[in-house]
Amino acid sequence: MQELCHWIDGKEAKGTTGRFSDVFNPATGEVIARVPLASATELAAAIDSAEKAQIGWAATNPQRRARVMMRFGQLIHDNMDMLAELVSREHGKTLPDARGDVQRGLEVIEVCMGAPALLKGEYTDNAGPGIDLYSMRQPLGVVAGITPFNFPAMIPLWKMGPALAAGNAMILKPSERVPSTSIALAKLAQEAGLPDGVLQVVNGDKEIVDAILDHPTIQAVGFVGSTPIAQYIYGRAASNGKRAQCFGGAKNHMLIMPDADLDKATDALLGAGFGAAGERCMAISVAVPVGDETADALIERLVPKIEKLKVGPYTAGDDVDFGPVITKAAQERINRLIASGVDEGAKLVVDGRDLKIQGYENGFFCGPSLFDHVTPDMEIYREEIFGPVLSSVRAKTYEDALKLVMDNDYGNGTAIYTADGDTARDFASRVNVGMVGVNFPIPVPLSYYTFGGWKKSAFGDLNQYGPDAFRFYTKTKTVTARWFSGIKDGAALNFKALD
Ligand code: NAD
């Protein structure tokens, strides 16, 4: 069996703790590798080396750092198929979807090629007699990225791109379920010219995360994962004086207005509800048709299309719509939640629980499921299911539908399907959710905007990637400088204006 490594000081490093976690191929249910789980001692060695490497990297001019990003981006592009294969093998998503995972990460690296412009400071000459005032953005030092299983390439790239381009060193702690992509990316970054030590990949579980959160050298923590862990990490990092931004789970609603193009809305729900087996933080898990007529027509269109969805291993070719879920435990949890929906009175219109795929009987597959007549008190509505389960909550009016979204604890993404500009505009303006789609089901902003949810979908300040990420990974220093030619000034004991 393959034994995976950490990436420390520009080299593969075997684990020394004797603790490992199994890595599965979710399509077959087989253990394909084991990943070492690091201890605080191994982490300390990685941080020590990162701290030394960061000094030279921060002193490298931003344009040279951007050139490393340029070569890194090119290498990611050239190795797209290799990276997608790694993603699919450990995660289970289809190859076209895995390429999308790599691509959306690559796009953030592309923005990082423009880092010098994003790192510029401000300058005011003659702010007072002989006085110039300027600000500069400086890297924080050694920062950490802690990432989830569901985007093995994209989210590590969202973390490492801006942090490194800004002159930091990063300790990346990828999900122990999908560790190989991060190691492959670290190797490509080295090939692109990133100095050894600037990026360290340390694998592990809660033990290593806690060690990261408590280590005094780590200046900032960028986390993505489930809400309870996001909230925990935010609290512990902040109480240790670190900058933290922690992105959590989601329950994304899509409103379908009576005037919506129902065929387009149906197709949107298929992709956004079931793509990647529903394991996306921007997946639509709740459809909110407005009016019973809209709801009936929507269900009528959805059912035959859902029943035609093809579920299978990524190796079965491009006509597979989605693959397995990540673990046996996830599969069992999803099936349990479906049973709870039935028990609580929701109407299970399509039941995906008993899917068996010949030759892959031990894979962690869940077929697509559709619930109608779901109500907000049900567990299937309150919980983030993170599986291929779409719930329809019928709303009587637009205001009721809007209130449903507003009252939900999560605020990552939402969408509205309508032909009416005023309704769409009202929704976008009033809804308390971070990312909004108008006739667009998964509104993940492009890499030169920023990504982030509201409410329990994010803790801390500033969004991921784009200009916000450069603010998060730098601190501002402001200099007030005076030169004395022609200026007569005595001692000033009072606080006063510069003029
Ligand atoms: P997770 O919270 O289980 O794990 C995320 C990371 O935290 C992993 O690296 C894991 O090793 C670590 N971790 C897990 N338990 C921990 C603990 N008790 N203490 C310290 N660290 C711990 O999340 P996941 O299952 O890997 O990912 C799925 C979740 O991520 C979903 O809730 C999804 O909505 C969310 N997500 C959010 C976004 C976003 O940007 N808001 C993006 C992608 C995924």
Which of 224, 252, 279, 325 should be mutated for ligand 1, with most atoms under 8 A from CB? 224
| 221-262 tens-digit pLDDT | 999 999 999 999 999 999 999 999 999 999 999 999 999 999
Q: Which atom of ligand 1 is nearest to the CA of 175?
A: 9
Nearest to 90 by CA among 201, 21, 179: 179
Distance 117 CA to ligand 1 centre (A): 32
Q: Which two tokens stand for residue 120?
A: 């510029």
Give the confidence band of 95 by pLDDT, cuts at 50, 70, 90: very high
| Pocket around ligand 1 at a 6 A CB cut-off | 146-151, 173, 175-176, 205-206, 209, 224-226, 229, 247-250, 281, 384, 386, 412, 453, 457
Q: What is the DSSP string of 400-438?
A: HHHHHHHHSSEESEEEEE-S-HHHHHHHHHH---SEEEE
Domain 252-438 has CATH 3.40.309.10: yes
Q: Which two tokens stand for residue 338?
A: 């479906």
In degrees and rounded to multiples of 5, residue 100 shows phi and psi of -65, -40
Residue 486 has a pLDDT of 72
More confident residue, 485 or 442: 442
Share of the chain above pLDDT 90, in %: 96
CA distance 24 to 455: 33
Measured CA angle at 435 (ends 432, 438), to 5 deg: 100
Q: Is the Cα torsion angle 229, 231, 234, 237 positive or negative in sign? A: negative
Give the confidence band of 499 by pLDDT, cuts at 50, 70, 90: low
For residue 474, how many C-alpha atoms fall within 13 Å in the half-sphere facing its CB? 26
| 41-85 tens-digit pLDDT | 999 999 999 999 999 999 999 999 999 999 999 999 999 999 999
Domain ranges of the chain: 2-248+457-479, 252-438
Q: Which atom of ligand 1 is nearest to the CA of 458?
A: 41
Q: Which atom of ligand 1 is nearest to the CA of 412?
A: 41
Catalytic residue set: 281
Flag whether pLDDT at 217 surpasses 90: yes
| Mean pLDDT along residues 140-167 | 98
* Domain range 2-248+457-479, CATH class: alpha beta
In contact, 76 and 109? CB cutoff 8 Å:
yes
Distance 463 CA to ligand 1 centre (A): 17
- The pTM of the whole model exceeds 0.85: yes
Residue 387 has a pLDDT of 98
Distance 401 CA to ligand 1 centre (A): 29
Measuring from atom 43 of ligand 1, which residue has the nearest CA? 281
The three-class DSSP label of residue 464 is strand
Which of 226, 251, 462, 472 should be mutated for ligand 1, with most atoms under 8 A from CB? 226
Measuring from atom 17 of ligand 1, which residue has the nearest CA? 206
Residue 490 has a pLDDT of 72
| 386-434 tens-digit pLDDT | 999 999 999 999 999 999 999 999 999 999 999 999 999 999 999 999 9
